[in-house]
Amino acid sequence: MGGNHLGEFLRARRAGLRPDDVGMASYGARRVAGLRREEVAVLAGVSADYYTRLEQGRERNPSAQVLDALSRALRLEADARAHLYRLAGTVLDDQSASRAAEQVGPALRQLMDGYPNTPAFVLSRALDVLATNALADALFTPFETVDNLARMTFADPAGREFYTDWERAAQATVANLRQAVGFDPDHPRLRALVRTLSEHSADFAHLWNAHTVRGKTRDAKHLLHPDVGPLTLTYQAFDVRDAPGQQLVIYHAEPGSPSAQALELLGSLHATRRRSEARRTRY
């Protein structure tokens, strides 16, 4: 992932903006994608030399005022703005806390199991699947291994069929990982995951280099399960207070909808298979 995370982020976001996006006129042939460094400097109210040093990694301690100005100049939304601050070292994150334990507490597991009619699972910042309830197990059966959402999306052939809007799911997944890097750029698990996916997926590498940042909150998921057909689910993500970095994700179907009926059928089929497997194991 390299050592100049702040500069890489600034360059990528600068390349993603055109002059008319920020109300600037464009003159002459442009040799760079997006805004020029000088244009960002003008928008942020800093010298071109200072901004260049930021991108090149020769200046690594911008003030909060400069970061605010850069956020406005680059039209950063809330998640991306927080990411910029973390990359600049302005937000003080406890490394030990940001590298949350990969153990899910018994109380949280009990809570998840108390939702028999909706899939629930716990993720780490690196999108490792740390725990699942029974219906989440049923939902993810198309995948060979349920271990990491990013790997499942980009490296498992089932991903492109499971996510009917695969491109949107892929973009969101990479944006979630980018946010995680802001909390701990040198996290060994994240570094290994990004390196592996970049080497094996051109799609991942392209999206990773775009530096889009977004956290999980609430969104719709359009899925296709081989056992029950199409599913339209809404998910919500909740931070686990006693395990910083972990998130509880809950999928929900509109009551009475075809997707709710499909989830009920999926749970029934999964329970039947588990009982059948248990009987075969006993005998």
* pLDDT surpasses 70 at 204: yes
pLDDT at 51: 96
Residue 281's pLDDT band (boundaries 50, 70, 90)? low
Please state, in angstroms and rounded to a whole number, the distance separating the CA atoms of residues 148 and 159: 12
Position 94 pLDDT exceeds 70: no
| CA–CA dist 145, 151 (Å, integer) | 9
Q: Where are the domains of the chain?
A: 5-92, 106-282
pLDDT of residue 19: 87
- The position carrying tokens 């244009």 is 39
Integer CA distances (angstroms), 283 to 35, 269, 277, 279, in order:
69, 21, 10, 6
pLDDT over 80 at 283, yes or no = no
Token code pair at residue 231 = 């599913």
CATH superfamily, region 5-92: lambda repressor-like DNA-binding domains (1.10.260.40)
What percent of the chain shows pLDDT beyond 70? 93
Q: If pLDDT is split at 50, 70 and 90, which confidence band does 219 have? A: confident
Q: Domain 106-282 belongs to what topology?
A: Beta-Lactamase (3.30.450)
Query: Is pLDDT of 256 > 80?
Result: yes
What CA–CA distances, in Å, run from 37 to 48, 106, 161? 7, 51, 41
Instruction: Identify the weakest region by mean pLDDT among 64-73, 204-213, 274-283.
Output: 274-283
Report the amino acid identity of residue 137.
Answer: D
Q: Over the chain, what is the mean pLDDT?
A: 90
pLDDT at 96 over 50: no
Order of strands across the sheet that contains 229-239: 129-132, 120-123, 247-252, 229-239, 218-225
pLDDT class of 214 with cuts at 50, 70, 90: confident
Question: Residue 92: its pLDDT value, please?
Answer: 39
**Taking 90 as the threshold, does the pLDDT of residue 91 lie above it?**
no
Phi, psi for residue 30 in degrees, rounded to 5: -105, 125
CA–CA separation, 14 and 27 (whole Å): 17
pLDDT at residue 172 greater than cutoff 60 = yes
pLDDT of residue 97 exceeding 50: no
**Mean pLDDT, to the nearest integer, of 223-249?**
92
CB atoms within 10 A of CB 190: 22
Half-sphere exposure of 123 (CA within 13 A, CB side): 22
3-state helix, strand, coil in the chain (%, to 5): 50, 15, 35
Is 90 exceeded by the pLDDT of residue 103?
A: no
Token output for 96? 């030990």
pLDDT band of 203, cuts 50, 70, 90: very high
Residue 28 confidence (pLDDT) = 66
In terms of phi and psi (left: phi > 0; alpha: psi -120 to 50; beta: otherwise), the region of 218 is: beta
**For residue 44, what are the CA distances in angstroms to 9, 56, 66, 152?**
16, 17, 7, 40
Over residues 101-128, the mean pLDDT reads 91
Q: Cα 10 to the chain's mean position, in Å?
A: 19
User: Is the separation of the CB atoms in 118 and 131 below 8 Å?
Assistant: no
* pLDDT digit string, tens, across residues 115-145: 999 999 999 999 999 999 999 999 999 999 9
Range from 39-48, 211-220, 267-276 carrying the lowest mean pLDDT: 211-220
Ranges of H-type helices in 25-123: 37-44, 48-56, 64-73, 78-87, 95-98, 106-113
What contacts 197, CB < 8 A, 6 or more positions away? 150, 151, 154, 155, 204, 205, 208
Q: Identify how many contiguous H helices and E strands the chain contains and give both numbers.
A: 14, 5
